[in-house]
Each structure stands twice: as structure tokens, then as C-alpha cells.
Amino acid sequence: MAEPVLDIRRLSKSFGALKATDDVSLDLRAGEIHALIGPNGAGKTTLIQQISGALKPSSGSIRFLGEDVSALDVAERARRGLARTFQISSLTPEFSALRNVMLAVQARQGSSFRFFRDVMTDASLTEPAIAALSRVGLGDRVRTPAAELSHGERRQLEIAIALALRPKAFLLDEPMAGMGPEGSRALTVLLDGLRAEAPILLIEHDMDAVFALADRISVIVYGRIIASGTAAEIRADSAVRVAYLGEPG
């Protein structure tokens, strides 16, 4: 079998006495959605932070596209094709939705050291950006500053930015949170098709979306992966039901 796109081996991270990531091994294969679920404070975001390079693990390795990326910084990993979205939207607030996405297009083209041409007249930036915005349903909010978008719209903009990066893998940290039922449904359809473009590591509390989308599910509790398998296997796992799905043993 081909090597996974993303391969995490025996990762650990401590904050003082707290083991936020405890010997986690996990992989992401081409074409799949791998969901990572777990209660609040289980260590999901901390894991994403380490994969994207924002946090340094205490031990363990992270391989991406066959290479060890542990020593690379956030920007370098992003250039290699790792796109993450933030649980709490992280945007450039004064810029319009369009310019937020254009910046991603520009980053993907690897050309931020150009000092003269007006970006707004550059169709190689505006067209892909508008396409990404339309794809997430923000086609009519193109000119609105990010700071003036609603909470749900900001979540959509996060996705549009990730799309515009055309990454080799998506790391999505609770993309549905705060979107409302209609938004969640639309995003579920979008993600369903997206896995063919690049595999998705999906952190999500919305269990309907998770069971509808995930090829595999891993369950993390207190920094440890306690179960990993298909949706059916996870549903049947008694440890998971006790620890997470809130059912008595």
C-alpha cells in the first residue's frame, strides 16, 4: 500500500504536568476523510497545532508526503501543502472577504515579493478567489470586510481560504461550529466532494456530519487515542460509548 499522505508517529506533548498529547499515532491516506473526535479539552486542537508547526511536540515524528517535516516552521509546512483552518476564525479583519482569499491565492503562487502591480487588477488572483468564495456560498459577500461578516460567514471564509490554497491535505478544526444546521448541511456536501482533491483530517463535534462523512474515525480522550476504526466499528465500541458518546457502560 502507498505511504499515507500524513503520518504521525508516537507524538507526545506536555504542558507542565498535563499530557495534552499522549503517544498519539495517526495517519491520513489519499482520498479519505479521517475524523478525530473527543470531548472538550481532549487535545484535538493541540494535535493540529503540532501538525501545522505552531507547537513543538515533546517527542515523536510527523511525516508529510514521505518527508519528516518536524523541523519546519508553520509557513514552510503550509508551502508544502498543509492547510489548516482555525477553531476560532483567524482572518485579516480589515481586508474584504475577497482580499482574505486573494492572499491565500498569492501565497499558493509563491509570489509575495512583487512590489508594483495592483492586486485588484490581477485576474490571476481575483478569479480563483471569487471561485473559492462562491464555492462556500459567500459569492455575494465578496467586498465585505471580514470584521463585518457574521460568525457563520467567517467560518465559511476560513474554508474558502483553505480551498484557495489547493493543499495536499486539509486540517479542519471544527469547521461546522457556529454555522447553523443549514450551513452544516451545505458544508457536509462540500467536504464530501473535497476528499477527492485532498484528504481531510476533520475535527468535529457535529456527530451527524462525522458519521455521514468519515471513512475512519479516531477517538481521543485525555490526549490518548482510545479507539480507531470505521464509523460502524466506533459506534459499536463500548469504551467510546462510555468515554465520549455519553452512554453508560
Report how far residue 19's alpha carbon sits from residue 184's, in angstroms, rounded to the nearest whole number: 32
State yes or no: residue 43 binds ligand ATP (CB under 6 A).
Answer: yes
State yes or no: residue 15 binds ligand ATP (CB under 6 A).
Answer: yes
| Minimum distance, C-beta of residue 112 to ligand ATP, in the bound complex (Å) | 29
Strands of 16-75, DSSP E: 18-28, 33-37, 59-64, 67-68
DSSP states along 126-191: HHHHHHHHHHTT-TT-TTSBGGGS-HHHHHHHHHHHHHHT--SEEEEESTTTTSHHHHHHHHHHHH
Pick between residue 13 and residue 216 the one whose CB is nearest to ligand ATP. Answer: 13
3-state secondary structure of 203: strand
Q: Which stretch binds another protein (CB under 8 A): 24-32, 97-105, 131-139, 183-191?
A: 97-105
C-alpha cell at 131: 471561485
Q: Look at residues 234, 196, 222 and name the one whose alpha carbon lies nearest to residue 35.
A: 234
What is the DSSP secondary structure assignment for residue 15, as one 8-state letter?
E
State yes or no: residue 20 binds ligand ATP (CB under 6 A).
Answer: yes
Which amino acid is it at 49? Answer: Q
Pick between residue 41 and residue 66 the one whose CB is nearest to Mg ion. Answer: 41
| Minimum distance, C-beta of residue 233 to another protein, in the bound complex (Å) | 33
Among 29, 70, 95, 186, binds another protein (CB under 8 A): 95
Pick between residue 59 and residue 92 the one whose CB is nearest to another protein. Answer: 92
State yes or no: residue 45 binds Mg ion (CB under 5 A).
Answer: yes
Among 40, 113, 117, 246, binds ligand ATP (CB under 6 A): 40
Burial 47-57 (b: 16+ CB within 10 A, else e): bbbbbbbebeb
String of contacts with another protein for each residue 73-92, x by CB under 8 A: xxxx-xx---xx-x---xxx
State yes or no: residue 188 binds ligand ATP (CB under 6 A).
Answer: no
> Where along the sequence are the contacts to ligand ATP (CB under 6 A)?
15, 18, 20, 38, 40-46, 87
